[in-house]
Amino acid sequence: MEKNDAIDFKALEKELQAALAADEKYKRENAAKLRAVEQRVPSYEEFRGIVLASHLKPLEKKDKLGGKRTVLWNCHTTRERTFQDVATEISQEKSPFQPGTSSEFYRDWRRHLRSGPERYQALLQLGGSKVGQLFQKDVGFGLLGELLVALADHVKPNDRTTVLVILHSLANTGRFTLNLSLLSHAERESCRRLFQKLQAMDTARPMQDCLSMEEQPGGTQGEEGLLQELLGLYGVD
């Protein structure tokens, strides 16, 4: 192997450490922003202070107060930022959930959608047709259970049709039977609970007119027929 072709492992290690540090900084500051919003801080200065101090840790008993200090208390305050900068960042972080591939879905699902309500709304926003396109080959290990938990915990009567279509799309993805068999006990219980909720909801109305014929599994069979089909596909008694 030529000398110029040798792999510089030290450079690769530095790049990896820099990427990990950047990702950790993003997660830390994003969590601080969410805390500040939840606390309804009265001014931008307080909001900014919470975010910029997110890297600080509480003092421990071994830490000693007093003595000479040669470093800034908060080194992250060296670059001035306007309120518009922060508002733009928040706006970007709350942008619509629009993954183009299954890998993008998995990345954003884990990184940006932490709470159950956020995940549920993201699934409703995508709809059954898009979910089916993203996971045509395979849902991915462990993800099916997370999707079912989000639906089970937050399903509402007005969303019944959309949820049924999402479940039907998932059932037609690659290796669905295998993924279903790999659900944990808790995930299986969530799946059973989801279908119990769907059965208890109003079944008198037909499929919503807002869905096209292509989005209505089974054509004109209606919600009740679709629900019965899904009970068998998901192995729910």
CA distances from 12 to 1, 4, 79 (A): 19, 15, 29
* Distance in angstroms (rounded) separating the CA atoms of residues 153 and 160: 13
Domain boundaries defined on the chain: 8-57+68-93, 102-233
- So what's the pLDDT on residue 67? 53
Q: What is the pLDDT of residues 16-25, one digit of tens each?
A: 888 787 778 7
Q: Is the pTM of this model over 0.75?
A: no
Longest dimension (CA), the chain: 78
Structure tokens at 86: 């922060």
Name the residue among 153, 151, 171 with its Cα closest to residue 163. Answer: 151
Q: How confident is the model at residue 168 (pLDDT cuts 50, 70, 90)?
A: very high
Q: How confident is the model at residue 190 (pLDDT cuts 50, 70, 90)?
A: very high
Inform me whether the pLDDT recorded for 139 exceeds 90.
Answer: no
Tokens 């999707």 -> residue: 147
Q: What is the pLDDT of residues 52-90, one digit of tens each?
A: 776 666 555 555 555 555 545 454 544 555 544 544 444
Between 218 and 157, residue with greater pLDDT: 157
